[in-house]
Amino acid sequence: MGMTITEKILCRHTEHIEIQPGMLINAKVDIALGNDITAPIAVSEFRGAGGTTIFDKEKVVFVLDHFTPNKDISSARQCKLLREFARQQDMKYFYEGGECGVEHALLPEQGIVLSGDLIIGADSHTCTYGALGAFATGVGSTDLAAAMLTGECWFRVPETMKFVLNGPMNKWVSGKDLILDIIGQIGVDGARYKAMEFTGDTIKYLTMADRMSIANMAVEAGGKNGIFTPDDITRAFVEKRARRSYTFYESDPDAGYSSVMEIDVTKLEPQVAFPHIPSNVKGISQVGNIKIDQSYIGSCTNGRIEDLRVAALILKNRKAAPDVRLIIVPATPEIYRQAMKEGLFEIFLDANAIISPPTCGACLGGHMGILAEGERCIATTNRNFVGRMGHPGSEVYLSNPAVAAASAVAGRIAGPDEL
């Protein structure tokens, strides 16, 4: 039997000729990623294990994106620790300040993660890079420390679920809606420790931004990783950014799958995930009258230039409702600069939006948009757990950027066609 794209990438990073689901393997990593929350623990474990020099100064990456610009003394201490460690190790890829962006938007944009790579990150949404045709998954800080020492990580080879997406998308429907719909159908544990492989003729309609949104939320279905087969759209994105060689893999025709699910995308409308779980999904036409206090457009799921363009299209010549705080967060400095160049900031400011520097801040309940008790937020983020963006008595609703922008104007959860 042949191998899936996930199995091929894992296999090529070992000494095995072939591998099968369920096997325990050690594999060499191309990139090991940490951020300002998870990397300090990894550095401590690295030193505790006797580590003095990381395995490769070009393969360990730190991105200080969660609590930066430093929100308090504790976060400043953590960033100082990482800054000193990165200098000591002469790390090539250390991002903070004006160079720093949301890690899962920044690394693909900068050509640091590439097709065919095996990537681990001490952040659950590392699975985003599967959009490029890479195996990428989140790990704990101790596994990151081990990889920093050895250049390897252990895995149990996952089974693969195949999702066949058919047909063109309707107006205002995006990759975010496709993955919300899938999670709504299979549940938050429906792909537990499995690879989620996305294929079908819909893929040719998906931008890289759409694909990253989908792969990003594979973990919200319990997936080990999400992955797309690279195509011409992938090549156009990677070729102009790659800092080293890369490889396109695809699944064999006789590869084995634990399940195959076919989805008719033409029937899909924009989706909204209700509190307090990403699988609690309803179509926009079924939402009802839900007043909001905040609309948040950004994050590693939907903070790319394509997302900001959609939001600007809806917000142009409109204003956020008087009782709604509209917060817009470009995911990287490059996206920030491009949005400024295209005049999107003027549209956002005219709409009474707050424009934040690139940060993960509010998405994880850190800063730059925390919710008080009883408040509701429509967010383009990936999680809506209890207390995710602030007080345990607040509520988070997940949507695509078009719905988040329209909702800001309406003062309640609404689709763009209602404006």
In this predicted structure, what is the pLDDT of residue 228? Answer: 98
- Residue 198, SS3 per DSSP: strand
Stretches in the chain below the pLDDT threshold 70: none
Cα separation of the two ends of the chain: 53
Ramachandran angles phi, psi of 107, nearest 5°: -65, -45
Closest CA to 301 of 186, 411, 178, 406: 178
How far apart CA 167 and CA 274 sit, in angstroms, is: 26
Please determine whether the domains at 5-15+23-248+257-263 and 271-414 fall in the same fold group of CATH. Answer: yes
pTM of the predicted model as reported, rounded to 2 decimal places: 0.96
Closest CA to 212 of 287, 108, 58, 74: 108
In this predicted structure, what is the pLDDT of residue 370? Answer: 96
CATH architecture of 5-15+23-248+257-263: 2-Layer Sandwich (3.30)
Question: Where in the chain are the domains?
Answer: 5-15+23-248+257-263, 271-414
**Helices and strands (H, E) in the chain, number of each type:** 13, 18
Q: What is the tens place of the pLDDT at every residue in 72-117?
A: 999 999 999 999 999 999 999 999 999 999 999 999 999 999 999 9
Residues ≥6 apart with Cβ < 8 Å to 174: 210, 213, 270, 310, 400, 401, 402
In this predicted structure, what is the pLDDT of residue 114? Answer: 98
In this predicted structure, what is the pLDDT of residue 249? Answer: 98
The fold for domain 271-414 equals Aconitase; domain 3 (3.30.499)
In this predicted structure, what is the pLDDT of residue 1? Answer: 83
